Structure formats: C-alpha cells, structure tokens
Amino acid sequence: MNDGKTGVGIIGLGGFGHFLFRQWSKLDEVRIVAVSDEDPSRVPTSAAGLRFYQDYHGLLSDAEVEVVSIATPPSTHLDLALSAIERRKHVLIEKPVSMTAADGRRIADAAAKAGVVATVNFMLRFDPIVEGMRQIVQAQVFGQPRRADLRNYATQDTVPTGHWFWDHDISGGILVEHGVHFFDMTSFILGAQAREATGLSVWRNQEEEDRMFAAVRFENDVVGTYWHSFSRPMALETTTFHLAFDLGEVEISGWIPLTASFFGWTDEKGVAALREHLPGLELSVERMAELDAHSSDQVYPVNASVRGRAEVQQPKLEVYGNLVRAMLKDVVAAMHDPGHKLRATIEDAIAAVAVAEQATAVAHADCMRPVQ
C-alpha cells in the first residue's frame, strides 16, 4: 500500500509497545503496518490490516516497514538494531540504546554506513518544561548553573520479584535501564556533556539492586547527583529535578516533567526570557534598585527579584503521548530530509550509556571504605 504515509513496525508488545501503538496510531503521517512479539496474545486487535509476526525476522523482511521501533528489553537492542539496519530500515530504539557504549557505537557506525536514521527514544527532550529550562540556562536568566539533583523514588509495583528488570544481564541495572533518561536530560538542559562519573548502590537482597546513586561532573563543572530507587508503593512515587544557579533555583516535578517552581534574581532580559519560554507561567516580579550581584567569580547586573511557577496544563498521560509522537515525527522528518537535525541523536544515546556504565562499574567495585 502506497498512501504516502511512512510505514512503521513495532517489535515488542509489552506495556510500552502497546502505548506506542496507541499513540502513533493517532499520527497522520505514519501508518503502523506490522508488529512482532513472541506472545501472539499481545497483538492489538484495533487496527485493520495490521500484520503480526511472531518471529521478528518477518517484520524486518516486510517491504512496507520503513521504520522499526525496538521496544524490547535492553539486552536485545544491539542484535535487533543491527538486523534492522542491515535491511536498510530506520530504527527508533527504546532507551537505553544498548547495554554498553561500545555496542551503541556499533549501531551508530552501522547506521552511518547504511545511510539510515538511528536514534533512541529520549522523548523528555520534547517536554515543554525541559525545553523551557534549556532556554533559561542558555539565556543565563539566573546566571551560571552550578548544581543538578535528580531524586527518583519509583514504584516497585511494576517490577515485581522475577521481572527481567532485576536481571543485570538483561537490563544492565537501574542506571543503564532507567538512569540514562536523566543523564541525557541534564546534558540537554545544560548544553554540556558529562566528563566523569561515580556511583554507589544498595541491594535489597542478592537478586534485587533497588537503590542506586550516581554523581556526575559535566564539562561546564556543574555537579549532578542522581538517586534512583524502585521500592515505593505506586501511590507514593515521586520524581523531582533541582537546578541551582549563581542567583536562583528551580525545582522540576514529575518523571514526565509537568511543573517547575523557581526563584532568584535577574534583569529585564531574564524576566522576558521566563515569559517567553516557560509554559503556563505564573510570575511575580519585584523590582529592585540596580546592583551588581557577586557569586563565585561572576558579577551579574540585576534589577528584579522573581518567583514563579510554570505548568504544562495537560494530564500526564496526554503529555506522555505528545512526547512519543513528537519523537517519531522527528525521526520521520530526518528520513525525508538529510539536513534535518534530530532532537535526540545516537551520539546522545551513547553518551548517556557511557555515564551509566561508569557509575555502575564504580558502584560494583565496592570502593567504599569505613569511616575512621
């Protein structure tokens, strides 16, 4: 069928694969033509003409599939991506891109050689709060950023004992499977790559490493700290991301960021930037006598004390759907326009895995020493 729409195939019909199917089915520019899963009972029944392949090789051989979405556990990403690229398919891989940065490089090199688009689903880069904060950092609304702190208290309800999430040979562990989203989000907001990383971990038992900590120094000397735990009841899970600047602070809430509260000193350009870049803004501005504010080795002319809150005024699942649709649309745009710059690239994906690898390796090396 040649209806002008880009043909998409999804490998992996777990909870996220079904979510992608529902959200991408709403797009006018694509058509989901095929899905694949080892379990035939998972196939969606809502799409007429949808082809199902229990063996993913059938999907990869389907001539109408132009983009392959890989929504399977991390340990499968390398082989599936390379197989798809070998058949000249474009690939959109669920995070992480692979279990190791070296494997991510193999995928990137294969895609470059084949002339196809390959990237990872870092859909947080499309979130309005995240994009707004990136603009605030670039405009130096509150001066230089100095500190980032991610606190993710996630639920254990969706990853019960025996789930593949706890098997490091399949998931890579919390920082590889989950933390990469937030290492990348920080890099995107700051416009800086990680330079070095370390980590700690706590095991609930011999099978479940359910709490992990990472500390990362970025190229601009921002220090980021990341706490990930999968231990709470679902009703009590929270995610917050704190940014500290020379002249202010921001607190972002939600693993899909929906709100951001802030305060600090700035100038007229800073006030204008807040109004331009933050969605659903409530802003209080108190005018000050002009002064030179000193912080670290920086001097900032300021004349306004601000406090406020930004909010994406849509339900979480609706925003989540917007993000994954934007991610696929970005891939389709790159397919049809070689000059299109992807919001999230394969290089971004490799960089995030490298951070997770390093922090995990240190955590597992048991470098802690008793306090004397």
Tokens 């990341």 — which residue? 226
Query: What pLDDT does residue 48 have?
Result: 72
Residue 80 burial (CB < 10 Å; 0-12/13-18/19+)?
buried
- C-alpha 16/C-alpha 353 separation (Å) is 20
* Superfamily for domain range 6-122: NAD(P)-binding Rossmann-like Domain (3.40.50.720)
Q: Which residues contact 266 (CB under 8 A, 6 or more apart)?
A: 141, 142, 247, 248, 274, 302, 304, 306
Query: What pLDDT does residue 367 have?
Result: 67
Q: Class of 125-318 per CATH?
A: alpha beta
For the chain, residues classed under CATH 3.30.360.10 are 125-318
What is 58-119 written as a DSSP string?
A: HHHT-TT--EEEE-S-GGGHHHHHHHHHHTT-EEEEPSSS-SSHHHHHHHHHHHHHHT--EE
**The pTM of the whole model exceeds 0.75:** yes
Neighbours of 256 (CB within 10 A): 19
- For every one of its 372 residues, what pLDDT tens digit does the chain have, with 9 covering 90 and above? 567 899 999 999 999 999 999 999 999 999 999 999 999 999 887 667 899 999 999 999 999 999 999 999 999 999 999 999 999 999 999 999 999 999 999 999 999 999 999 999 999 999 999 999 999 999 999 999 999 999 999 999 999 999 999 999 999 999 999 999 999 999 999 999 999 999 999 999 999 999 999 999 999 999 999 999 999 999 999 999 999 999 999 999 999 999 999 999 999 999 999 999 999 999 999 999 999 999 999 999 999 999 999 999 999 999 999 999 999 999 999 999 989 999 999 999 999 999 999 999 999 997 666 777
- On the CB side of 352, how many CA atoms lie within 13 Å of its CA? 29
For the chain, residues classed under CATH 3.40.50.720 are 6-122
Query: What pLDDT does residue 368 have?
Result: 67
What are residue 295's phi and psi, to 5 degrees? Answer: -150, 125
